[in-house]
Structure 1
Amino acid sequence: MDKLKVTYEVMLGLAAEMVWDECIRKHRREELYKGIDSALANGDKMAFTELTDELKSLE
């Protein structure tokens, strides 16, 4: 029974880590979209290129 409990706790930890990673990725994606919008509004081609490249690598 202890082995089952340890396995369950490990699986819960992995699930929590997956949720946390997805939250961080979603937050970064939102920041990138805001930065891309700002770069477009300001005509900053370099920032636009860097941010879109990062967004592509994120997805």
Structure 2
Amino acid sequence: MEKQLPRTPLNPEVIAEMVLDKAIRDFRKEKIEKAIDHSLKIRNKEEFMRLTEELKNIN
């Protein structure tokens, strides 16, 4: 049988911060992915490598 952790109510400010953090991460990820596509299109290996590293570091 699974053990359940006690539920604690989340503060609305904490929830809002979590939503904003996720939105910012998603925006950054999309922006980097577009830049990666562009670097591939123009065959810029250095930029591609830098951007893929940056993308890996986004949590």
Query: Fold match, TM over 0.5?
Result: yes
Q: Give the alignment's TM-score, normalised by structure 1.
A: 0.81
Number of aligned positions between the proteins: 51
Give the secondary structure class of the aligned counterpart of 1:58: coil
CA RMSD of aligned residues (A): 1.4
Q: State, as a whole percentage, how many aligned pairs show the same letter.
A: 39
Residue of structure 1 in register with 2:13 after alignment: 13
Query: Cα deviation per residue 1:1-44 (whole Å; 9 max; x = unaligned)?
Result: xxxxxxx7x71000000000000000000001100000000000
Q: Structure 1 residue 43 and structure 2 residue 52: aligned? A: no
Q: Which runs of 5+ in 2 are unaligned?
A: 1-8
Q: Give the alignment's TM-score, normalised by structure 2.
A: 0.81
Describe how 1:18-37 pairs up with structure 2 within 5 A: 18-37=18-37
Q: Which runs of 5+ in 1 are unaligned?
A: 1-7
